[in-house]
């Protein structure tokens, strides 16, 4: 992406003016017309209302396809319909089966909301935090569309979304003496793989947001907010967050979950 071109909202001929206005208010991005002659030559990040929902896409020749938050269909919907919930590593890491009840989870780095949706599918009540207005707009659109679905609706009803920086919001929660059973951290980490080996969503996010340089600052407040455990998702060879060794780890092929236990369920 050309660093000189800031992200923008792409206005197509069939765009709803009210939705465009609301999106511009939420993101504070400039508008560009799809019919502009130079648009197809520019490489920049754009938000636009695709037939499948609000999409994030890099424009320009040869750019990858759009990223849309979809809790009804696609891979997320397939897992919801055909199982795999209890066997997923994040469910084990959070300790859903150990608790024997519905857990409250704070997801401090919501992203596209996939991990939060898995946990909500298993009965957890998940409060999500997302700092990027563009990513938050994608997530809000996905939640709105899923709310109208017969099967996904009750699941996303257990998901709520906050805007802002996680470190600051967690400090406010601590001051208010708020607690969650589990606090979940999945900070962005620089990928060493070539772009072709990384999902297009991660490529776009790395381009748009970069790595979470303040990720280490999240662990201390998370440990104060969590009643039972903090769970940190990390690439397999990444260093421990804030150089603090976890109580134990769940290792996968390319990643791991670091668990900081505080009290048994």
Query: What CATH number does the domain containing 58 carry?
Result: 3.40.1630
Same domain, yes or no: 61 and 114: no
Same domain, yes or no: 35 and 107: no
Strand, helix or coil for residue 174: helix
Asked whether residue 115 is assigned to any structural domain, the reply reads yes
Same domain, yes or no: 60 and 111: no
CA atoms within 13 A on the CB side of 135: 23
Tokens of 54: 């609000």
Q: Are 191 and 54 in contact (CB under 8 A)?
A: no
Residue pLDDT tens, the chain, 265 long = 444 688 999 998 889 999 999 999 999 999 998 765 455 567 789 999 999 999 998 877 777 788 999 999 877 765 666 555 555 899 999 999 999 999 999 999 999 999 999 999 999 999 999 999 999 999 999 999 999 999 999 999 999 999 999 999 999 999 999 999 999 999 987 655 544 445 667 667 666 766 667 899 999 999 999 999 999 999 999 999 999 999 999 999 889 999 999 999 9
Same domain, yes or no: 111 and 218: yes
Under DSSP, the state recorded for 130 is E
Determine the Cα–Cα distance for residues 248 and 254; give it in Å rounded to an integer.
17
- Residue 74: predicted pLDDT: 72
Asked whether residue 1 is assigned to any structural domain, the reply reads no
Same domain, yes or no: 159 and 245: yes
Asked whether residue 3 is assigned to any structural domain, the reply reads no
> What pTM was computed for the model?
0.90
Q: Are 137 and 27 in contact (CB under 8 A)?
A: yes
- Residue 195: predicted pLDDT: 44
Helices and strands of the chain, counted as H and E runs = 10, 12
Same domain, yes or no: 13 and 102: no
- Domain span including residue 255: 74-261
What is the CB neighbour count within 10 angstroms for residue 204? Answer: 21
Q: List beta partners, residue 48.
A: 55
Asked whether residue 250 is assigned to any structural domain, the reply reads yes
Same domain, yes or no: 203 and 82: yes
Per DSSP (E only), the strands in the chain are 8-11, 30-33, 45-50, 53-58, 67-68, 104-107, 125-130, 159-163, 180-185, 226-235, 248-251, 255-261
The tally of domains found in the chain comes to 2
Same domain, yes or no: 94 and 195: yes
Determine the Cα–Cα distance for residues 158 and 2; give it in Å rounded to an integer.
39
Where a domain ends, among 29, 53, 68? 68
Same domain, yes or no: 189 and 215: yes
Same domain, yes or no: 62 and 78: no
Same domain, yes or no: 128 and 176: yes
Q: Are 167 and 214 in contact (CB under 8 A)?
A: yes
Same domain, yes or no: 129 and 254: yes
Tell which residue, 169, 124, 166, 160, has the closest CA to residue 139: 160
Q: Are 161 and 132 in contact (CB under 8 A)?
A: no
Burial label, 249 (beta-carbon count in 10 A; 0-12, 13-18, 19+): middle
Buried b (16+ CB within 10 A) or exposed e, 77-97: bebbeeeebeebebbbbbbbe
Under DSSP, the state recorded for 230 is E
Query: What CATH number does the domain containing 104 carry?
Result: 3.40.50.150
């Amino acid at each position: 992406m050309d660093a000189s071109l800031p992200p923008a909202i792409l206005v197509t001929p069939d765009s709803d003016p009210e939705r465009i206005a609301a999106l511009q208010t939420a993101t504070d991005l400039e508008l560009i017309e799809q019919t502009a002659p130079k648009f197809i030559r520019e490489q920049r990040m754009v938000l636009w209302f695709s037939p499948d929902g609000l999409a994030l896409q890099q424009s320009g020749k040869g750019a990858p396809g759009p990223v849309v938050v979809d809790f009804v269909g696609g891979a997320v919907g397939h897992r919801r319909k055909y199982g795999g919930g209890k066997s997923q590593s994040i469910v084990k890491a959070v300790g859903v089966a150990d608790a024997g009840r519905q857990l409250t989870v704070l997801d401090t780095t919501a992203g596209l909301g996939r991990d939060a949706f898995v946990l909500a599918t298993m009965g957890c009540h998940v409060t999500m935090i997302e700092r990027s207005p563009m990513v938050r707009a994608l997530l809000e659109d996905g939640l709105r569309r899923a709310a109208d679905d017969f099967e996904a609706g009750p699941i996303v009803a257990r998901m709520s979304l906050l805007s802002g920086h996680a470190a600051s919001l967690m400090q406010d929660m601590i001051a208010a003496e708020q607690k969650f059973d589990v606090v979940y951290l999945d900070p962005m980490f620089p990928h060493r793989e070539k772009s072709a080996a990384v999902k297009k969503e991660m490529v776009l996010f790395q381009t748009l947001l970069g790595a979470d340089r303040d990720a280490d600052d999240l662990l201390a407040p998370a440990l104060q907010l969590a009643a039972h455990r903090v769970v940190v998702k990390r690439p397999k060879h990444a260093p421990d967050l804030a150089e603090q060794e976890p109580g134990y780890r769940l290792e996968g092929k390319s990643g791991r979950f670091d668990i900081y236990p505080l009290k048994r369920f």
